[in-house]
Chain A
Amino acid sequence: EIVLTQSPATLSLSPGERATLSCRASQSVSHYLAWYQQKPGQAPRLLIYDASHRATGVPARFSGSGSGTDFTLTISSLEPEDCAVYYCQQRDNWPPITFGQGTRLEIK
């Protein structure tokens, strides 16, 4: 089973700042990595798939990069509504499909 490790566990930044979230895989997942945003009391929402492709309707301030074992989700200029937990997910070596443990993003 591929383990995804996300860092940091919590990130606290101000509006307008740049956020960089990391996801590291225990073995290569090629480019088969997705990112999700989950706000309190809501279902997750797909942001990025195949490492760098923005899902429909996702603002351009969200971008993804990486391949192999190291991936990054970048939010270029934080908005207050970006406060959420962010999860990465791999589907290269499956089953099982696995998720990271999440990064909590707080907006000061």
Chain B
Amino acid sequence: QVLLVQSGGGVVRPGGSLRLSCEASGFNFANRGMHWVRQAPGKGLEWLAYLRYDESDRYYADSVKGRFTISRDSSKKTLFLQMNSLRPEDTAVYYCARSPKWDLHLDSWGPGTLVIVSS
């Protein structure tokens, strides 16, 4: 079955960096666009970034543009989110999610990983 296993969350100081990983199994990872979405404590969902299946395009929310980078290693079936210059307002549960090859609804989600930015 489709599985997205996330890792890399934790506590980091403001201005610090963290890299999140999302390892996929149970489907053809190379054929799927992938997203990162976050949810601050007690808040709603915020889309952050998208990487097309062939890495031809990547898009970011304004709130993270220039600080976060989405990437993938298809040989390892893994999606990454490199987060730099972290701020307290980046504190959230971060989800990876996949989309169909030619669409943008998010049809499977990872369990989430908590990132806390605090001094």
Contacts and interface: CB of A to CB of B under 8 A. Distances in A.
Interface of A: 32, 34, 36, 38, 42-46, 49-50, 55, 87, 89, 91, 94-102
Given A43-B95, A95-B60, A96-B61, A55 B45 contact: no
Given A50-B103, A102-B45, 8 more contacts: A44-B45, A44-B109, A50-B105, A55-B107, A89-B106, A96-B59, A99-B44, A101-B44
Contacts of A95: 50, 59-61
A43 B110 contact: yes
B98 to A, nearest CB: 10
Interface of B: 35, 44-47, 50, 59-62, 95, 103-112
Contacts of B103: 49-50, 91
A49 B59 contact: no
B52 to A, nearest CB: 12
A97 B44 contact: no
Contacts of B95: 43-44
B44 A34 contact: no
B107 A49 contact: yes
A78 B47 CA distance: 29
Contacts of B35: 97
B106 A34 contact: yes
Contact of A99 (B45, B59, B112): B45
A87 B44 contact: yes
Nearest to B107: A46
